[in-house]
Amino acid sequence: MIRGQRKKDVEPTVLLGVTSVSRGRVALFLVLVPLLLSGSLLMGPSGIGLPAIETPVGAAILNLRLSRMVMGLLVGSALSVSGVVFQAILRNPLAEPYVLGVSGGAGLGAAVAILFGAVAAIPLSLPVSAFFAAVVTLGIVYWMASRGSGGAPSVYSLILSGVIVSAICSSVIMFLVSTASAEGLHNVIWWMLGNLQPVALEQRLLAGVLIGLGFMVTWMLAMRFNALTLGREMAHYQGMNADLVIFAGLLSATLMAATAVSIGGMIGFVGLIVPHVTRAMFGADHRWLVPLSAVAGGVFLVLCDAFARTIFAPVEMPVGVITALVGGPFFLLILQRKMKHAWVA
Amino acid sequence: MHGWRKMSDMECAHEVGVRDAALALENVTAGYPGHEVLRGMTMQVRQGEFVVLIGPNGCGKSTLLKTASGLLQPSSGSVRLSGRDVAGLKPRERARLLGVVPQKVESPMAYTVAEIVMNGRTGASMPWQGLKDEDYVIMERAMIYTNVLSLADRYFTELSGGEQQRVILAMVLAQEPEMIMLDESISHLDINHRYEVLRILRRMNRDHGLTVVLVSHDLTLSSEIADRMILMHEGRVQASGLAAEVLRADILSRVYDCELLVQHDALTGTVNVSGVLDGTGPDGNASRSVHVIAGGGTGIELYRRLGVYGFRVTTGVLNRMDSDAEAARALGIEAVLDLPFSAISPEAAEDAAALACQADVVVLAPVPFGSGNLVNMEILRRALRCGKEVWIADGVAERDYTEGKAAAAAAAELVSDGARLWNSSHELLLELRSMEV
């Protein structure tokens, strides 16, 4: 038999194991992660370098830094994965975890809890009220958006309802703040800027479980997010329940964002920019984008927090200020060179 | 080997009932709230058939595709894919039965070609498992069929329109559907790429029994490739059959509401459909004049088409600021005008009657009647008495809002006195043009 003919019977294998990401880049990234994380452990207001672990004070400091690192990983990964989901479902580069009113709702819940004295009286009232207010706000936004379209909401009505509800929430917050005492005002503003002071262990564990749950759902849906970026109709044609995927995606993304906000306050920038940079570096395939941006978001926030507590020590900067101030120029540089690998111009 | 079924499975596919048809619509009514697009549509596509769906814009072709794929729920009637109700199908099963290539696919994110094609395997894979080797083999086969394998690492958006279309086709073929529907997706391609896509489709059809439904505006090209053509009009099937049976000048001219020429090529068996460019100019009609009685935008179409065919047009009575009055002014048509938003005055009616009696023909547009413009019927009566030919848009009763249906009664009386009724402006123009001077 002629060779050329035999070749036709061979199963094609060119695409087998097709990988959209550069393996070298992923490897480099994964080597950098532990280095950066241990670097962050060396930074703190008590001085740069490893604290003396043998003394009780040193051990306590290291313990505190570790706790903050866990906080940063949790909050940072939750926000950036949530941002990935919102950008995929809403097909919009401006989407971020707070776009559907999570920030407005959580902020309102927190402001009410702080200003009406619940925080001082009832333990955990701040994170709980922030969390539930955020989830309720998403419910309202989703309900408002679906009413107009009769059934599943369109992307545009979701975005618009989100913006409107957020605006209403921030107006109410401003009203509350304007009538509050100086101390209450300071507390609300400080909370809204976000910080990674370690919360109680149980609370951290619960947050870890919720964020882990959201992450698993998101990762499982990763391929479907790829299909959804071609639009709801095309996703439907490809054999998936597009409305269900959109709903599950929005729900898990909001869950992650609300959990992050409830333990870390409203830290901005991470959920918007980290997904973009990860996409620019590793491509837009969500099967890789979801886990990689989780790691990237976590590490980025941990580093920012290390800077926030070190630069003006002993005064601590709100980490939300550092994220944009330090991360902004750095990420701008990356995006400038790599944007065409992320979004279509 | 897995993959598309071979032709041998398809050999007895010809005599099949509704249950076995690849796609069967029965008396389907579907559309959008307050606007029905499909109106009692019944059609079948047999397995292994290559059907081209044609019809004027807005006849419901895209709605048909959305209904067939379960994206749009019909308000009544049944839609079946391979004998199974489409609403009851799991998304995964539906994707195996039907793949859809929409008019345009856009991705805001920068995906490579391989990543785009991968989407075709989404429905087949469970959320908790990734793609298996088998999936990659299927993807690759689809990319070989469509000749895009060499583009695998290129960015989708950097490709030309023809390449993008083949990539989308590869993505849909990677679903391994039994039937594929294409929604005018090749209309914007150049002739080379158009034929390339058609060749791929025909090969999939002939070699693998893939059922193809292609929505197309290119009637000539369609006639070359179709086993059967289906002509849609106003949400229903108007004609169905071989190209020669469907592409007939009388049917097409009525459906598309314009004059069309159909030529059969005895050598290749293709049917060539073309519009008429000559003859739309002033072809001796200039000497003849038509007076149009309109209002509320009902006359614009008539003004334009009469003008195109070279008739001298007059109109009236129109209220100032009425959209017909604006159109008449823009087209330079002599018009009798009256005060806006008020009943027609006797003086204006007198002027209009004079104009009507100067014209050769008087046409009444499908204008709704109220007490304010009932006097138009009087103008028509006078024109008829002057010996003019009078054409009345049919269905006066349905748009008659006068007390006691006075307009409908007047119209009936006019018809009994010799006025004629018209339905489509295309037919009316044919009549007017064949009229003796």
Question: Residue B137 and residue A16: Cβ atoms within 8 Å?
Answer: yes
pLDDT digits (tens, 9 = 90+) for B44-66: 999 999 999 998 888 888 899 99
Identity (one letter) of the amino acid at A280?
A: A
pLDDT tens-place string over residues B125-167? 887 777 888 888 899 899 999 989 888 888 898 898 889 999 9
Higher confidence at residue A338 or residue B28?
A: B28
CATH at A113:
1.10.3470.10
Q: Is A19 on the interface with B (CB under 8 A)?
A: no
What is the reported pLDDT for B430?
82
Distance CA B406, CA B399 (A): 11
**What's the rounded Cα separation, in Å, for the pair A142 and A155?**
10
Average pLDDT over residues B333-358: 87
Nearest to A91 by CA among B113, B158, B107: B107
Distances (CA, A) of B378 to B336, B373, B395, B413: 15, 10, 18, 11
Residue B5's pLDDT band (boundaries 50, 70, 90)? Answer: very low
For residue A224, tell me if it sits in a domain. yes
The tally of domains found in chain A comes to 1
pLDDT in single tens digits along all 345 residues of chain A: 333 333 344 455 556 556 667 778 888 888 898 888 888 888 877 777 777 777 888 888 888 889 999 999 999 999 999 999 999 998 888 888 888 888 888 888 888 888 887 776 777 777 788 888 988 998 898 888 887 665 667 888 888 888 899 899 989 988 988 888 888 888 888 888 888 888 888 888 988 999 999 999 999 999 999 999 998 889 999 999 988 999 899 889 988 998 898 888 888 888 888 998 898 888 888 999 999 999 999 999 999 999 888 888 778 888 888 888 877 887 788 777 777 777 765
Q: How far apart are CA A332 and CA A222, in angstroms?
A: 26
Contact A283 B112 (CB under 8 A): yes
Residue A16 lies in a domain: no
Domains and CATH numbers, chain B: 7-275 (3.40.50.300), 289-434 (3.40.50.720)
Q: Which domain holds residue A238?
A: 22-341
Q: Is the pLDDT of residue B351 over 80?
A: yes
Distance CA B267, CA A145 (A): 59
Evaluate whether residue A277 is within a structural domain: yes
Of A294, A299, A218, A222, the C-alpha closest to A20 is A222
Output the pLDDT for position B15. Answer: 41
Q: Does A234 touch chain B (CB under 8 A)?
A: yes
CA–CA separation, B119 vs B117, rounded Å?
Answer: 5
A156 within a domain of the structure (yes/no)? yes
E strand or H helix at A4 = helix A3-9
Complex ipTM, two decimals?
0.83
Tell which wins on pLDDT, B212 or B305.
Answer: B212
pLDDT at B19 over 80: no
Residue A5 lies in a domain: no
What percent of chain B clears pLDDT 90, i.e. is strictly above it?
22
Q: Is the pLDDT of residue B375 over 60?
A: yes
Q: How would residue B280 be classed by pLDDT, with cut points 50, 70 and 90?
A: very low
Q: Does residue A6 form part of some domain?
A: no
Query: Is A182 in the B-facing interface, judged by CB distances under 8 Å?
Result: no
Q: Which residue has the tokens 């070279």?
A: B310
B8 pLDDT exceeds 50? no
A276 vs A332: CA distance, rounded Å: 10
Question: Residues A281, A17: contact at Cβ < 8 Å?
Answer: no
Predicted pLDDT at B436:
54
Cα-to-chain-centroid distance, residue B358: 39
Of A226, A233, A284, the CB nearest to B102: A233
* Residue in A closest to B65 by C-alpha: A237
Confidence of residue B186 (pLDDT cuts 50, 70, 90): confident
Q: What is the pLDDT of residue A20?
A: 63
Say if A7 falls within a structural domain. Answer: no
Q: Average pLDDT, stretch B100-104?
A: 88
Chain B CB contacts of A241 below 8 Å: 91
* Residues in chain B within 8 Å Cβ distance of A220: 127-128
Top residue of B105, B109, B128 to mutate, by most chain A CBs within 10 Å, is B109
Token couple for A241: 């329940």
Provide the pLDDT for residue A6: 38
Interchain contact, A223 vs B125, CB within 8 Å: yes
Indicate the average pLDDT of chain B.
84
Residue reference for tokens 């992307």 = A155
Residue A44 in any domain: the answer is: yes
